[in-house]
Amino acid sequence: MGAAVRGRSGSAWWRAGPVAASLVALAAATRPAWAQPKRAMTIDDLLAVQAVADPQLSPDGRFVLYAVRTVAFEANRRLVTTYVQPVAGGAARAFPDDSTRASEARWSPDGQRVAYVAGGQLWVTRADGTERRRLTALTGGASGPAWSPVGDRLAFTSGVYPECRDEACNAARADAAEKSKVKAHVADQLMYRHWNRWDDGTRSHLFVVGADGSGLRDLVGGATFDVPPGPFGGSEGYAWSPDGREIAYTAKLATRDQAWTTDANLYVVPSAGGTPELITGANKGADQNPVYSPDGKWILYQSQKRAGFESDRWRLLAYDRVARTSREELPGWDRNADAYQFVGAGAVIVQTMDHGRDIFVRLPRGGSEMVPAPVPLRTAHNNNQLSVSSNGMVVAWMRDAAEVPAEVWTGRLENGALVDARALTHLNDALVARLDLSPVEDFWFRGAGGDSVQGFLLKPPGWRADRKSPAILLIHGGPQGAWLDQWHSRWNFQLFAATGAALVIVNPRGSFGYGQKFVDGVSRDWGGKVFADLMNGLDAAIARNPWIDTTRLGATGGSFGGYMVNWIAGHTTRFKALSSHAGVFNLEAMAGATEEQWFSDWEMGGPWWNDAAMKAQYRRWSPHLSAGKFVTPTLVTQGELDYRVPVGESLSLYTALQRRNVPSRLVVFPDEGHWILKPQNQRLWWAEQQGWFKRYLVPDRPLP
C-alpha cells in the first residue's frame, strides 16, 4: 500500500481490526498495477531495473539477441545474461542456457552459430545453444568477437605483455606480478595511468582465431599500444573487409606525446598476418571506427579535423581503397556521426545526437556519391544501438526516455522510412507502472550569446500547481556533453526528483546536438557564457513555472558539472544547497595531475606554465581563487581511483569549505573511479545526495 493510503486512513487503520485490515490489504494486492497508487522512486527501484542493451538481429531478421544486466547486491556487482527472442513475438529464453553468463553475443553471417564471451573467454555455439566450443584460454581473456564475412574466423581482442611471443610467457608474467610483494608503479613517460587504472605493462591486441579454435594469431604482435585505444574502445574499433582478406583497426601509437595528442589512426592488416599499413596519417586529429562498404570499395570512419581537441565534430569520412584517398561525406552537416552502418546495398544509417535526443538519420547513396541531406528516421524519445538484418529490411534498437528504462524495439525499413515500430521487450513495465515518474518537458530560452538554448523541466512526484516546490539545477559534465531525454543509470532524474524537488536540466553551450559552434563556445570560457546560460535557463524555467520556490534552489553536477557547482559557490548566493561530484577546483593542480593532458591544453589554451594561458584562463576561471566567498552548504563526493579529475580536487574543495565554516560533508569511495558504479556504493551515494537536498530544500517533507 502507498503512503497516500496510509495517510488518508490515519489512526482509523488500527481501529478497523485485523480482519478488516487483512481484507483491505488483500484488495490492494489484487488490484492491477495500473490501479495501484503510484509512489516516488527509490534507490532500490533503480537497482531493480533490468538494464537491457546490445540488441543483435539475426541475419534473416527473425530473432534478436540482447543482454540484460541485473544487480547482485550482496556480491556488490552486476551480472549479465544474454537472451534470444523471436521478432514476431513469443517468449525469450536465456542464451545459450539458464546457467551461462554470456555477453557480447554475435550471430555468424549465415545465422547458424553464435559467438559469445563467458568466463572471460571466447565461445561458439549453434544458434539453438547446443554444441558449445570454447575457442580461447588466454591469460588476458577475450572480448569483442567479430565474425569474418564467410564465418570461418573471428577477430577479438586480448590483453598481452607486448614483449611476450606466446601464451606461456603471458601467463608467467601475470603470475609473477600477482605473487610479487612489490606493488610499486614505475613510469618512464606520461599516460602511466588512465581513467581508473595504472599501467600494468599489458596492452590490448587484435587476434584472429578459426571458428573451430584453430589458427590463433596476434595480428599486432609486439605492439606497445592498445588496439583499439582505451579506456572504452570495443569491437567498433575494428572491422573485416567483405572478402575476409583484410581487417581495418583503430590504434594510437605509444609515442612520447601520447598524453597530449589525440592523433589516433586507422590501419589495415592482412587477416592472415602481415605488416599493418597506416591509411589516415595525413590527418592529425583522431580517426577511428572503420566500416567497410558491402562492395569493398570504401571504408567509412569517424574523423576529427582539429588536432588536440577531443570534442571536435566527428565527421563521416570515406576512404577509397583503390585511390587511397579520403573525402568527407557530409561536409555541410553540423552534427556528429556517432555510429553508422550500411543498410542493404548502399544506404547508410547514422546515429547522432540532436536537441537532447539520440536519433537515426538515413543517408541515401546514389552511384558513388553521398546525398548531402540526411533524412531522419522518425522515432520518439531517445534511440541508439541500431542492428539491421542482412537484407536491410528489419531493424532492432534501444529506446528509452527520462521516465522509461531502455527496452528493445523492432521495426521495418520501407522506402527509407521506419514503419511498424514496437517494443519487443517489456522487462521493466511492471516496475514503472508502480512509480510516479514524470516525462521531461522541453523549453527554449535566450542564451548568453543571444542564441536559443534548450532545457528540460521535470516535475516531482505528487506535483501540484497550487503548491510551491523547490528545484534542483542539474549540470552535465564534459564540458562537452549533453543531458538527454534518457533513463540515466547514474544521474537518474527521477531519483533527484524523488526528494520533492523539480529538476531544471539545461544544455548550455558546450553541449552536443546543437552544432559545432555551440560546442566550441565553452572552450577557454569555462566560467563565462556557460554560467550565464545556466542562470538564464534557471530563470526561464522559473518564469514559466511560477510554482517553483525561488527560495529553495539547489544545484548539482559531476566532473565539469562539479566544476560549475564549485564556480557557482564563489559567484552567486541564490542557491540554498550545492552538491559537487568529482569537480575541478584548482585548474593548475588538475592540469598537472590529470592523465589526458590534451584536455587542459585545449580547454585552457596551453599548459599551465604558458604565461598567456595562465593569465587568460587558469587564473581567471579557477574556482579555488573564489573560495573566500563560499557560504552555501555543499556536499562533496568522489572516487579515489579517479585519474581524470584526481581526488585531490575534492579534498582541496572540502578543506576550503571547512576552513570557511561552510556546512559541508565529504564522501570518498576508495574503490571507485570517476563514476560511482558498485551497487552498494551507489546506494550510499544516493542516500547522501537525497539526504543533502532534503535537509536544505525540503525539510518539511519526508524522503520517499
DSSP E strand stretches across 227-286: 238-240, 246-251, 265-270, 277-278
pLDDT in tens, 635-676: 999 999 999 999 999 999 999 999 999 999 999 999 999 999
Q: What is the pLDDT of residue 379?
A: 84
pLDDT in tens, 11-57: 232 233 333 333 333 344 445 555 678 999 999 999 999 999 999 99
If we measure between CA atoms, which residue out of 225, 247, 245 comes closest to residue 237?
A: 247
Q: What is the pLDDT of residue 345?
A: 73
Q: What is the pLDDT of residue 454?
A: 98
pLDDT in tens, 592-606: 999 999 999 999 999
The answer to whether residue 430 scores a pLDDT higher than 80 is yes
Q: What is the pLDDT of residue 28?
A: 43
Q: What is the pLDDT of residue 22?
A: 37
Mean pLDDT of 165-192: 96
CATH top class, domain 438-586+622-697:
alpha beta
Q: What is the pLDDT of residue 20?
A: 36
Q: What is the pLDDT of residue 371?
A: 52
Domain segments of the chain: what residues? 3-37, 438-586+622-697
Please report the DSSP string for 285-327 in residue order: S-EEEEEE-TTSSEEEEEE--STT-TTS--EEEEEETTTTEEE
Whole-angstrom Cα distance, residue 701 to residue 471?
14
Q: What is the pLDDT of residue 8?
A: 29
Residue with cell string 518564469: 543
pLDDT in tens, 472-491: 999 999 999 999 999 999 99
Q: What is the pLDDT of residue 364?
A: 75
The answer to whether residue 394 scores a pLDDT higher than 90 is yes
Work out the angle at residue 12's Cα, subtended by the Cα atoms of residues 463 and 38, and round it to the nearest 5 degrees. Answer: 25
Contacts of 425 (CB under 8 A, 6+ apart): 52, 66, 85, 92, 407, 408
- What is the pLDDT confidence band of residue 416, given thresholds at 50, 70 and 90? confident
DSSP code of residue 606:
S
The answer to whether residue 111 scores a pLDDT higher than 90 is yes
Q: What is the mean pLDDT of the chain?
A: 93
The answer to whether residue 241 scores a pLDDT higher than 50 is yes
Cell output for 579? 552538491
Mean pLDDT of 420-436: 97
pLDDT in tens, 357-383: 999 999 876 444 555 568 888 888 999
Q: What is the pLDDT of residue 243?
A: 97
Q: What is the pLDDT of residue 32?
A: 57
Q: What is the pLDDT of residue 366?
A: 45
Q: What is the pLDDT of residue 698?
A: 87
Cell output for 595? 592523465
Report whether 571 contacts 626 (CB < 8 A).
yes
Please report the DSSP string for 139-202 in residue order: TT--EEEEE-TTSSEEEEEEEE-TT--SHHHHHHHHHHHHH-S------SSS-SEETTEE--S-
If we measure between CA atoms, which residue out of 652, 609, 603 comes closest to residue 630?
A: 652
- DSSP collapsed to 3 states, 554-566: EEEEECHHHHHHH
DSSP code of residue 626:
G
Q: What is the pLDDT of residue 34?
A: 53
Whole-angstrom Cα distance, residue 207 to residue 496?
44
Residue with cell string 531493424: 395
Q: What is the pLDDT of residue 36?
A: 73
DSSP code of residue 21:
H
If we measure between CA atoms, which residue out of 312, 309, 367 comes closest to residue 334?
A: 312
The answer to whether residue 7 scores a pLDDT higher than 60 is no
